Structure 1
Amino acid sequence: MRLRNGPVAAALVFVTSFLGLSWYTAWQNGKERLIAYQREFHALRERLRRAERRTLQRSSELNAVSEQFRRAVAEARGGNGALTGVSDATLKLLKELTSKRSLQVPNIYYHLPHLLKNEGSLQPGVQIGFGRTGVSIVMGIPTVKRKVRSYLTETLHSLIDKLSPEEKLDCIIVVYIGETDPDYVNSVVAVLEKEFSTEINSGLVEIISPPATYYPDLTNLKETFGDSKERVKWRTKQNLDYCFLMMYAQRRGIYYIQLEDDIVVKQNYFSTIKNFALQVSSEDWMILEFSQLGFIGKMFQAPDITLIVEFIFMFYKEKPIDWLLDHILWVKVCHPEKDAKHCDRQKANLRIRFRPSLFQHVGLHSSLPGKIQKLTDKDFLKPLLHKIHINPPAEVSSSLKVYQGHTLEKTYMGEDFFWAVTPVAGDYILFKFDKPVDVERYLFHSGHPDHPGDILVNTTVEVLPFKSEEMEIHPDAEERRLEDGYFRIGRFESGVARGTVHPSLNPVSALRLSVVQNAAMWAILSEVRWRGRTRVPTAGRPGARHVPALGLSSLLWAPAPGLAPPRRRERGRTHGDRLTETAGQRNSPGLLCVRPFGRVQSTGLDARERTTGDGPTPCPQRADGLDRGAGGGGGGSRT
């Protein structure tokens, strides 16, 4: 029997080995073909770029020749004898050629005509790096020669050391050396290659420098706004540096964030930025600000960079870049017949500020020779008062009375914390998932560093299992069943509720926090997080408002055409808490998002600073008569 099975086993081993080898060979050949196609594509793109440049150059030359002919014909008509000896047929042909002129579409070369003189004007003179693409965030760091000291290596260490191994694979740090002196550029490259060789070889760090032909003549600039000739030259070159860096980074990732070479960053800055951008991805924003200083920490979506660069090129000699950015927003949304306050409200929808700041300026000596700048971001030292997580799409509601714009929606989306007036028995906070979710673990944090007593007490955590005929509830879990079908799985201890969900209760369709006894203080919910995965798609309910999230579910709910804007179901809303819900226009058409309507006077506690309509409205006093003071966050003074 064994002898008979031996040939069979040998045949199976041979066939398996042959199939495995064939599969590996096919896979390897496919990989090599893909690489070859990529190389051909890049070569084709480069040829097209060069052809476009030559076409523009020839077009410019033909226009010049045509203009000369036109002048000659005009002089001939005036009897100046400019075309003496030319036959009538030739003169007629010249008239026909000069009478038909095609419209010329303005482009970058209209504002920077010197670029046509050299084909390599828009190619990096120095380019070192792996050439990574398809990342979430590209960080741009321009650096120039400083007479006193350089902060570049300290800045890079701060950025890199605070990245996790996974985050290092999802970003690029581009160092732009804005100098044309080859000796200086090579010295900076040598320092960076020695200090960050691992990061450069992995594709995390790239180094570029522009060619000398990229810059126009900067010696005869007009002095404006009281700036000296040296300062006008400095800021004009700075605008050009920003544009080159943005153009290089645009196609490398989803977002581009502008940094400087003399900053330090906060821990977990990358995940905070990425999660915040994902949470507001349905809104028509143009700039996300993660610092209040100058151009530091300004993030853009890659498609918007084209407009920004074109605008800067048009006015690069006129104003600094932060002023030009403000003008872009003005052009896009401000009504010329309305006042400045209306304009500020409209611009606030495009320019969203994250608090607290994630970047701090540390450089004392400016890149402008002789300038000392003691700029610090006061928001940088403030702690992050809420934690951002990507939660599954859900409809959120609460019976608690919200205080001054610190809504539950913002908490769930990771934008702010939820602040409510004193809870009483029977109050609840409800998260109803769009699709049933397998919840493995949950975590709720309440309280606030400035108000440590505002925590959830005597509050339980309850889940509602998804109704299914196959579901069998474990006896241990059955004992915790409530009359309305929910199961009690935990409670808040010292302001925190964390735990696991019994597998027999999964998937769940809703999670609820229930207050079982009157509280003496107000309550703040600062973190909402659970780990799990989405299950069994179910039809959305018309008219229900859902909080968009991009984590566990790849499908986002959009309202049916013609439905009236849904309303949230929070009790006792004041004028300052009114919400207007608009359809996102950029990434997810028809997706609902939430924007505060009343004025929010931020004191560092709000994740987003929105300057909107009317002033703050009176809010109920605390039972203990204590005033919240300056740490009260998004509301104004309580009267």
Structure 2
Amino acid sequence: IKESFSSSLESGLLEVIVPRVEFYPNLDNLKETFGDPKERVRWRTKQNLDYAYHMLYGRPKATYYVQLEDDVIAKADYLNTMKTFVQQQKDDWIMLEFSALGFIGKMFKSSDVSAVVEFFLMFHSDKPIDWLMDHLLWVKVCSPEKDVKHCQRMIQSVRRRYKPSLFQHIGVESSLPGKVQKLKDRDFGKAGLYRAHANPPADLSTTLKTYQNFLLGKVYAGETFFWASNPSKGDIIDFKFNPPIHIDTYLFRSGHMDHPGDVFHNTTIEIQTTEKVIQSKIDNIISKAGLNKAEVANASESFIPIARFNEAGLAQGEIPDGVGNIQIIRIHVHEKSNAWVILSEIMIQENKR
């Protein structure tokens, strides 16, 4: 470790910790449970205690605690993805999951860690850590007077999973002699059908006919994609900011890998601003965007067209300088489409300076 990560050790980014021997109880006198041999019970009990020690050590160092292991690989930009997912949580939660396997990629609020660890320590020799976590959630949110389905709904409300998984376990040999771990997270290799961003608060509306539960608000919040049946000429999607905000950049991605043809065609991005923009400025914006006469002529009244979706179904760019704060960003369809449309990614970056 010193040879490979000397600078990280010196800066304090990487710490190596070892519990005192007195931290552990007698691990040679444990009750065998669930048909596990003594060695396995000893191994999983020590593992539970190690988890508890790490969590208590890390608790005061940050706002959140994430449990990882040294034999995992991670998706590119995983840290920003995790930050965005946390920021999108409007309701209270206990655990966020970024991997489906075991106790990998589990995030807790540091303010909750002490209570979680107390539960783990109370039953450290009884069950593996992921089973104990299941029991803790049941204790926290389930009512004995309600049925199983109600309990499952309550647990799902505080245990939230990000898909696709950000971490994959690649280790095969366990620290338990003879134990081979071949399980893989099947969601890790999947390309995302949507991508989440921490977008500013907005009132959303559309004239498009939404399919099932693939709602506009859900893609804006990064929960899933928006899906609508055949767009018609004049259909719009509005993102209204109250109060108006200063926006730097935007990105709207339509279609996804399962339905690559469900993209916006002949569709523009328009903005409504708080300041009156002189015509010469508007003409310059339109010229830089390369918009044609029809797209300009069909623009919504009091809106400035600034971009169009390309052949791949993507519209992105910077808000032009000198237009003031933005009241509304509008997606404006200019001709009927024979295909449905998916909006799989929305990113609106506010300048808060």
Task: Provide the TM-score with structure 1 as the length reference.
Answer: 0.51
Alpha-carbon distance between aligned partners in 2 of 1:492 and 1:349, rounded to the nearest angstrom: 36
Which residue of the partner structure matches residue 403 of structure 1?
A: 211
Which residue of the partner structure matches residue 280 of structure 2?
A: 475
Q: Offset of 1:441 from its aligned partner?
A: 3.0
1:209-268 residue CA offsets vs partner (Å, 9 max, x unmatched): 111111111111111111111111111111111110000000101111111221111111
Structure 1 letter corresponding to 2:308: R
Distance 1:483 1:351, change over 3 A: closer
Residue 449 (1) aligns with residue 257 (2): yes
Higher relative contact order (CA 8 A, sep 6+): 2
Distance 1:203 1:419, change over 3 A: farther
Residue 488 (1) aligns with residue 305 (2): yes
- List runs of 5+ in structure 1 lacking aligned partners: 1-191, 535-551, 553-639
Alpha-carbon distance between aligned partners in 1 of 2:248 and 2:228, rounded to the nearest angstrom: 28
Structure 1 letter corresponding to 2:60: R
**What RMSD over aligned residues (CA atoms) do the two structures have, in Å?**
1.8
Which residue of the partner structure matches residue 47 of structure 2?
A: 238
Larger Rg: 1
Asked if the contact 1:473/1:505 (under 8 Å) is kept, the reply is: no
Q: Offset of 1:391 from its aligned partner?
A: 2.0
Tell me the matched-pair count. Answer: 340
1:482-519 residue CA offsets vs partner (Å, 9 max, x unmatched): 56311222211111112333324221111010111111
Residue 276 (1) aligns with residue 96 (2): no
Which residue of the partner structure matches residue 201 of structure 2?
A: 393
1:561-612 residue CA offsets vs partner (Å, 9 max, x unmatched): xxxxxxxxxxxxxxxxxxxxxxxxxxxxxxxxxxxxxxxxxxxxxxxxxxxx
Distance 1:483 1:195, change over 3 A: closer
Which residue of the partner structure matches residue 324 of structure 1?
A: 132
Alpha-carbon distance between aligned partners in 1 of 2:173 and 2:91, rounded to the nearest angstrom: 38
Distance 1:369 1:404, change over 3 A: farther
Which one is further off, 223-232 or 394-403? Answer: 394-403
Q: Offset of 1:406 from its aligned partner?
A: 2.3
Asked if the contact 1:288/1:299 (under 8 Å) is kept, the reply is: yes
Asked if the contact 2:200/2:349 (under 8 Å) is kept, the reply is: no
State the secondary structure of the residue aligned to 1:511.
strand
Structure 2 letter corresponding to 1:453: G
Q: Offset of 1:365 from its aligned partner?
A: 0.9
Residue 505 (1) aligns with residue 314 (2): no
Asked if the contact 1:455/1:524 (under 8 Å) is kept, the reply is: yes
Q: Offset of 1:449 from its aligned partner?
A: 1.0
Alpha-carbon distance between aligned partners in 1 of 2:170 and 2:248, rounded to the nearest angstrom: 43
Asked if the contact 2:99/2:185 (under 8 Å) is kept, the reply is: yes
Please, which of 220, 234, 240 is the counterpart of residue 426 of structure 1? 234
State the secondary structure of the residue aligned to 1:498.
strand
Which residue of the partner structure matches residue 601 of structure 1?
A: none
Asked if the contact 2:200/2:350 (under 8 Å) is kept, the reply is: no
Structure 1 letter corresponding to 2:128: P
**Aligned counterparts, 1:88-487, within 5 A:** 192-280=1-89, 282-466=90-274, 468=275, 471-477=276-282, 482=299, 484-487=301-304
Alpha-carbon distance between aligned partners in 2 of 1:532 and 1:223, rounded to the nearest angstrom: 57
Which residue of the partner structure matches residue 178 of structure 1?
A: none
Structure 2 letter corresponding to 1:340: V
Asked if the contact 1:276/1:415 (under 8 Å) is kept, the reply is: no
Q: Offset of 1:472 from its aligned partner?
A: 4.2
Alpha-carbon distance between aligned partners in 2 of 1:233 and 1:414, rounded to the nearest angstrom: 42
Asked if the contact 1:474/1:504 (under 8 Å) is kept, the reply is: no
Asked if the contact 1:461/1:513 (under 8 Å) is kept, the reply is: yes
Q: Offset of 1:379 from its aligned partner?
A: 0.5
Structure 2 letter corresponding to 1:234: W
State the secondary structure of the residue aligned to 2:3.
helix
- List runs of 5+ in structure 2 lacking aligned partners: 287-295
Please, which of 308, 315, 339 is the counterpart of residue 521 of structure 1? 339
Amino-acid identity (%): 49
Structure 2 letter corresponding to 1:203: G
1:107-128 residue CA offsets vs partner (Å, 9 max, x unmatched): xxxxxxxxxxxxxxxxxxxxxx
Structure 2 letter corresponding to 1:383: A
Structure 2 letter corresponding to 1:391: N
Structure 2 letter corresponding to 1:346: M
Structure 1 letter corresponding to 2:48: N
State the secondary structure of the residue aligned to 1:352.
strand
1:445-480 residue CA offsets vs partner (Å, 9 max, x unmatched): 1110111101111211111111x5xx4424241685
Structure 2 letter corresponding to 1:348: Q
Structure 2 letter corresponding to 1:208: I
State the secondary structure of the residue aligned to 2:261.
coil
Structure 1 letter corresponding to 2:8: E
Alpha-carbon distance between aligned partners in 2 of 1:307 and 1:339, rounded to the nearest angstrom: 26
Task: Provide the TM-score with structure 2 as the length reference.
Answer: 0.91
Alpha-carbon distance between aligned partners in 1 of 2:243 and 2:181, rounded to the nearest angstrom: 53
Which residue of the partner structure matches residue 130 of structure 1?
A: none
Asked if the contact 2:60/2:110 (under 8 Å) is kept, the reply is: yes
